[in-house]
A = this chain, B = another copy of it.
Amino acid sequence: MAEDPFTLYRQLQKAFSRNIKGKENRELIGRIYEASRDRLGEGNRIELKSLVPDKSYFAFEGKYVSRAVNKALYLDDEGKGWAKFAAAMDKGDNTGGGLNPHELTRVIYSAAMAFCCYVDTIKEGDKKTPGTYFEYFIGHLFAWRLDANPTKSLQVLNLDMDTELPTDFVFQPGKGKTKFHLPIKTSTRERVIQVWAHQRVLDGVYGTGRFIGTPVILTETKTDKKKREVIEICLPAQWRLYQLHIAQLKRVYYLDLPAPYESLNKGKPTLAVREFGEFFFEAAAL
């Protein structure tokens, strides 16, 4: 019997902050992925009816039915893709060990989804555990790529104010290097406005462009469990207004990129929405 994903998750919770970019986190993530795959293998896969054009989805079935999994992204490769990527990371290889951005996106999507789905199948309505795990996972990858550990708050010194501002992950890799503001969400829907608002506060407090905003989002799917139908909830027109009137995000990264947001790359004002795999190749240029 393989390890228990929850036991490993609790180990990650304890270990995570010690060295966010460190190898110990990466190894735990790899073991959680393996343990989750192993458990999910015991259950069935259910076909879902996709109402999203050009995408098909399935769900894992355990005690409960999991979230929707994108068939074209989820790898059934016994973790080989992850092993390749992790080995490249161990060597400090920024090119993903020969994987291209889309392949890298699939590897990361699969590793993130395996644990999220495992939690879905055994704990009904637990959104917190998958959400927190996804934060750890992406936080580690980002920190590894920037070779810098993030913080979750910043000091505000402004005339007679001296206060601590809680933030999403913020990275300050050092003088002359780009600082990043990294919100991480499993999905956003109408709550996405928070991401722009936090960027606005950082711009206001530290100066526009001081931190570049690069949220990472897993997916925008929503599953009707009774009808077994999958939809994507997207608000591209609002995103344009937020980008015009609240703040500028440099990139929005997705693991399962919705077509309505991909189209924001064309048209004006442009908003750069990319598959997360791209980040590892373009990070130095941001």
Contact = CB atoms under 8 A, between A and B. Distances in A.
Contacts of A160: 268
Given A191-B194, A193-B197, A205 B165 contact: no
Contacts of A158: 244
Interface residues of A, number: 30
A245 interface: yes
B193 A242 contact: no
Contacts of A203: 245
A163 interface: yes
A41 interface: no
Contact of A165 (B196, B238, B246, B268): B238
A198 interface: yes
A198 B193 contact: yes
A43 interface: no
A193 B196 CA distance: 10
A166 interface: yes
Interface of A: 125, 156, 158, 160-161, 163-166, 190-191, 193-194, 196-198, 200-201, 203-205, 237-238, 240-242, 244-246, 268
Given A191-B191, A194-B194, 19 more contacts: A158-B244, A161-B237, A163-B237, A163-B240, A163-B241, A165-B238, A166-B190, A193-B198, A197-B200, A197-B242, A197-B246, A200-B245, A200-B246, A201-B242, A201-B245, A204-B241, A205-B241, A205-B245, A246-B246
